[in-house]
Structures are given as C-alpha cells and as structure tokens.
Homo-oligomer: A and B are copies of this chain.
Amino acid sequence: IEQDDSVRVQAILEELHFADIAEIIDDLNLDQAIFIIKLLDSVRTSEALMELDEDQRDRILSALSPQEIADELEEMDTDDAADILNELPENVAQEVISAMMDEEHVENIVDLLRYEENSAGGLMAKELVKVNENWTVTGCVSEMRAQAENVTRVHSIYVVDNNQKLKGRLSLKDLLTSAESTPIKDVYIPKVDYVTVNTSGEEVARIMRKYDLEAIPVVDELDRLVGRVTIDDIVDFITEEAEKDYQLASGISQDVEANDSIWELTRARFPWLVLGLFGGIGAAAIMGLFEPLMSQHAILFLFTPLIAAMAGNVGVQSSAIIVQGIANDDLKGSIGNRLIKEVLLAMLNGLMLGILLFAYTYFSKGDVMVSLAISTALFTVIIAAGLIGTSVPIILHKRGIDPALATGPFITTSNDICGILIYFMLAKAIIGI
C-alpha cells in the first residue's frame, strides 16, 4: 500500500475514523507516519494526532517544523493543543506559539498552560457556549449560533453576568418556548454544579460521576466562567489514574506498555527491584545478628519467609483499602479510630492465623515453646503490618504524595524487614535464650 501511491492511500484514509487512522499510524515507522500525516487534511490530522500513542506522537512532532505543528494546533480544541504544547521542549513550544495566527485561540491555549495538568484548569477546554444574563432571547440565539461553530458538542449553555461571573445555565427548551424579547435573566436556571480551576482531577471526576454530568463549568478564583470539562476527558483521566495506581502497586514506576522496548521496561522496573534487593540484604543482615541461634533453633529460620510474606500481604491489604477510600473520598472518622479498627481487625485475623500456625508447628515439631514463639510473632507482625499499612497511605496523602505508592514494593519491603526483626526479637524473648 505504501508505494507512494498518494491518491489511493488518501482515498482509503478518507473513509476511516480518525481514531482508526491513529491506530494505523501507531503501527507504521516514522517516515510512513509523516507521509500519512502530510497527506491528510489538517482537521483530521490534528484529531488523529490526539489519539496517537504518546511516544509515537513525540517522534512525529519532532520531525515536523514549528510552522507545521502550529497549523495542526490551530485546528485543535484548546485543551488538546495545550496538552501537545506541554509535551514539546520549551523552545520549540515557544516557536510554535509565535507561528500561530489565530490570536484568540493562542491566547486561550497559553492561558490553559498556566494550570497544573491534574487540576480542573488543566483538564478544561475553553470552548463553550455562554450567554449574558442581560441579553434577550433573540440576541441570545444569534450569539449562540456563532459560538456553537467552534464547539464540537454543546452540552449546556452557561449564563454569565457582565463581569463574566457564572450565574446558571439555560435549557434549550426554555429558550425556544420563551417570547423573543424576554431577558435571559427571567428564564435561566440558577442552580448549576461547577468546579474551580484548582479543583483536583479526582474531585472533578467524583462530582461528574455522582451527578451523572456530561460537562461541568469551571470558574476562576473570582467566580468567572473560564472553561468547561467534558466527560470524554474525564473518562480518559479516570482510566489513566487507575492504570497509574495499578502500576504503582505492582512496582512499575513509569507509564509503560507491554509493547514498549526492553530498555523502557527495564527503566520502569529495575529501580524497584534494586530496592527489593536492598531490602533483602537488610533482612539478611538482621538474620545474621541472630545467627548464633541457628545451631539450637534452626526451625526459626525456616519460618522467616512465612513471616515476611504475611507481613507484606497484610500491609498491602490494609493500604489498598485506605487508598481506595481516599480515592472515593469516603473515609469517615479520625485517623485514631481507623487505626483502632485496623488493630482489632488485625488481632482477629492474627489470632486465627496464629492458632493455625501453632497447630501446624506443634504437631510437626512437638516443641511448645518454639511453636508459641513462632505463632505469637506472627500475631504481632500482623498487627504491626496492619498499622503500617493503614497509616502510611494516610500520611502520604496528607503530604500530597500519591497514596497508591503505599501498596507498592517500598512498603512491602519495609514490612518484610520490620516483620523479620520483630519475629527474631520476640522469638528470642519467648524461648529465653
């Protein structure tokens, strides 16, 4: 197909949805991709560009001139254009901005660059339909028609006052059934859900999910309407956040995919493995301190992997529940109460597991004191791991760090070491050596 047969390729591409074109481009090499990008008209290129895999997009963009990139951005929605500019090196972004022609569009895009990526400001687009409360129905309709041309999906009509403050929203039905000279003031609905530019992405997602919204207006610190977030951006946001949490919990530090190169995958995985290695060396060092015990009580050393694994499992379980509670914003009660609850829970689980382990060790080895030492240590380690697992995500969250980190290898490794330390100290005390 790729024999430079532009006409035929173009005919095929014209039939396809831009998301499918993006999928095809993802599978091509750079030269072929550029060839296709240049063949497409710029409305479709810009849409296909947004759907591309990030790595492939970076490669394509770095092969285009600033002027060419500027032409693409002119066709994009403000939020997408801002995302692309964020991905470019700063000097290139600067050149692209100066090469763009549409003054208002550029201003809107640069405006969006100010906000943090993870906030309502960073997620919103400038495209929306708004009317002034002092207009009449007639004036409104013609204004709306002009504005709607730049907006892919209208969703809602927002009403603002002379200072651009958000006052409410307008139902299309009310607009159409009102007399032509009625001022908007008399027909708009003053109740409207909104978020501010600094609202976190998670919170925007939560509100839109809760009220089943398809778009939500965004206001600045002075309550002025500055943009809106649409549900498709939120769907992407939710999916990416979930993937990030899942990867953090699995010990993968960057956004990687199964199809990435071995080198990229290693960069994402190796640091956590080194951490695990140091953790293991730490555990070995601690056990080394108790080596003299080995001649008399070899059995203690056989159960260290069990103790370490249980500490890790309990810690991850406790953390995961807290992390989800934080994400859904439904943690109730104080930290103190939560820790007390976790201790009770850990005691219940620890007691049952301790009895099981005692039964096994006693019947297989026949030494009451040693069995008691091992199972008491398990009980204690489970409580400690539960406490660490509960408090670490809460503390991370308070310090503005993603609490999902707590379910990853870092905590598991610390729990392993703590667990082994507690185990040997308790065992030593109980057996009385």
Contacts and interface: CB of A to CB of B under 8 A. Distances in A.
Nearest to A389: B250
Interface stretch (A83-91, A126-134, A177-185, A262-270): A262-270
Nearest to A325: B258
Contacts of A238: 235, 238-239, 242
A360 B325 CA distance: 41
A17 interface: yes
A261 to B, nearest CB: 9
Contacts of A246: 242, 245-246, 249, 320, 323-324
A190 interface: no
A59 interface: no
Interface stretch (A2-10, A31-39, A108-116, A273-281): A273-281
B19 A357 contact: no
Interface string A279-293: 111011001100100
Given A266-B349, A330-B257, A331-B258, A17 B211 contact: yes
Contacts of A262: 341, 344-345, 348
A313 B257 contact: no
Interface string A286-329: 01100100110010011111111110111011011111110010
Interface residues of A, number: 95
A313 B316 CA distance: 13
B284 A303 contact: yes
A283 to B, nearest CB: 4
Contacts of A352: 270
A243 interface: yes
B250 A316 contact: yes
A174 interface: no
Given A247-B320, A348-B266, A280 B325 contact: no
6 contacts: A214-B232, A239-B242, A250-B316, A262-B344, A304-B305, A309-B416
5 closest A-B pairs (Cβ-Cβ)?
A280-B306, A250-B320, A242-B242, A258-B325, A284-B302
